[in-house]
Amino acid sequence: MSLHSDELPIALPKSSEAPCLSLYQPTHRHHPDNQQDPIRFKNLVKTLEQSLRQQYPTREIRPLLQPFNALASDRDFWNHTQDGLAVLCAPDLFRIYKLQRAVPELAIVADSFHIKPLLRIVQSADRYQILGLSRGGIRLFEGNRDAVDEIDLAPDVPRTISEALGDELTEPHQTVRSLGGGAGSGVMRHGHGGKSDEVAVDLERFFRAVDASILAHHSRPSALPLVLAALPEYHGSFRKISRNPFLMPDGLKIDPDSVSTDALRTLAWGVIGPAYQQRLTRLVEEFEQSKPRGLVGDHLGQIAFDAVSGRVGTLLVEADRQIPGRLDSTNGRIEFGDIDHPQVDDLIDDLAELVLNKKGQVVVVPAERMPTATGAAAIYRY
């Protein structure tokens, strides 16, 4: 069994072995609200255990629940949660995801993972990253309409101009401190002697190194829009050299260290929000425009059958909608059932997984924006 504690997943996990245990719960960032989170977690683990006992012997249940019990006792973990929690477990895997969005409580045992709550976050159109840039260094944030958090930079991403240029940095340069350290943070002191041209060249080389490494290690793997937050004088020079296709044309002309993360979220949503609404509108319009050509579907059974053949190019699924049942991924046959049974999952969730496996895209849509009443809307490739 592999144990991972991850930020938001880039690729949704799969397991080759059943049973697959999926646990979701809302969590809290601060005391005293977070005091009840471990208790709620233990109750959800009991629900998993009760479901497992319907079909599996104790000797197989105990090793599956052991990492859950260890996590329940990890005080440091529960003191550093975000807004939601997802835990996925199988005989060969155990993964923990801290989420920036609350999720409904859910504990399901099935022959595949319940992924729709993660899909809603991973593939949501409102996710983005913010590059906080100054002469002294960089910070990277990731968020959505509800929250923004600073994330760890990949090891190969230079944090400061000194890291980026090393011995090639024009002398004399002295970095006072990297970003994020209080008064004087992100400030670069320069020596005297007519070095302004060399300093400008260094800054451009630093920006090139940052642009290339952010693209390679963060933007391209996540495919998230990138909002630049920097002083006005840095926007032009950075955009001139940038080769990042995910960089938004509008940015935040501020010192990224001068505002709180919540203020940063508010400002960034002013850039991202219109694009988010436009994407949802385009998807719904595409569904309606494809109707006359017979290239849409809203019946779950038909969508399942068409998904098996790879006909579904885009699947819109309704957020927070559950339809208990099973889907046979070999022939598209569906049957309804009881969500508490250890071999029953959510049909909408299974549909989403099937479409993803066939290289289609899945977008989780708020109920009020769905173009159908069935919980799913398919746009066909042919």
Indicate which CATH number applies to the domain containing 272: 3.30.420
Task: Answer with the one of 60, 94, 122 that is the final residue of a domain.
Answer: 122
| Residue 124: pLDDT over 90 | no
pTM value is 0.65
pLDDT score of 276 more than 90? no
Q: What is the pLDDT of residues 9-28, one digit of tens each?
A: 556 677 668 899 999 999 99
| HEC sequence for 163-187 | HHHHHHCCCCEEECCCCCCCCCCCC
pLDDT of residue 16: 67
More confident of the two residues 24 and 193: 24
Whether 3 has a pLDDT exceeding 80, the answer reads no
116/134 same-domain check: no
- Among 124-128, 225-229, 267-271, 282-286, the least confident range: 124-128
* For residue 175, pLDDT beyond 70: no
Return the pLDDT at 67.
97
Q: Identify whether 283 is part of a domain.
A: no
Both 78 and 38 in one domain: the answer is: yes
Residues of the chain with pLDDT > 90: what percent? 58
Q: Which domain holds residue 375?
A: 294-380
Assess if residue 288 is contained within a domain: no
Are residues 261 and 333 part of one domain?
Answer: no
**Across 353-380, average pLDDT:** 91
Strands 226-230 and 345-346: unpaired
Q: Alpha carbon 183 to chain centroid distance? A: 32
Cβ-count burial 89-102 (b if 16+ within 10 Å, e if not): bbbebbbbbbbbbb
Q: What is the DSSP string of 174-233?
A: EE---SSSSTTTT-EEE-SSS-HHHHHHHHHHHHHHHHHHHIIIIIHHH---EEEEE-HH
Q: Which of 278, 304, 326 is the last residue of a domain?
A: 278
Exposure of 229 in the CB half-sphere (CA atoms within 13 A): 30
- The answer as to whether 363 is a domain residue is yes
| Range in 107-121, 127-141, 147-161, 306-320 the model is least confident about | 107-121
Which CATH number is 81's domain given?
3.30.960
Which residue is associated with the tokens 């199988």? Answer: 90
For 68-91, write each residue's pLDDT tens digit.
999 999 999 999 998 899 999 999
Residue 4 has pLDDT above 80, yes or no: no
In-domain check, residue 286: no
Statement to judge: residues 252 and 138 lie in one domain: yes
Say whether pLDDT at 187 is over 80. Answer: no
- Quote the pLDDT of residue 120: 66
- Total structural domains within the chain: 3
In this prediction, residues 172-201 reach a mean pLDDT of 51
pLDDT of residue 342: 59
Is residue 35 domain-shared with residue 103, that is, in the same domain? yes
Instruction: Tell me which of 106, 122, 138 is where a domain ends.
Output: 122
The separation between CA 53 and the C-alpha centre of its own chain, rounded to angstroms, equals: 33
Q: How large is the average pLDDT for residues 291-315?
A: 95
Highest mean pLDDT among 269-283, 285-299, 335-349, 354-368: 285-299
pLDDT on residue 125: 62
Mean pLDDT of 338-365: 80
Q: Among 38, 170, 17, which Cα is nearest to 94's?
A: 17
Banded model confidence at residue 335, pLDDT cuts 50, 70, 90 = confident
Does one domain contain both 245 and 322?
no
In this structure, the answer to whether residues 303 and 207 fall within a common structural domain is no
What are the structure tokens assigned to 95, written together? 């993964």
Quickly tell me which residue has 């992100």 as its tokens.
Answer: 186
pLDDT of residue 215: 97
Do 100 and 215 lie in one domain? The reply is no
Confidence of residue 176 (pLDDT cuts 50, 70, 90): very low
Q: Does 370 fall in a domain?
A: yes
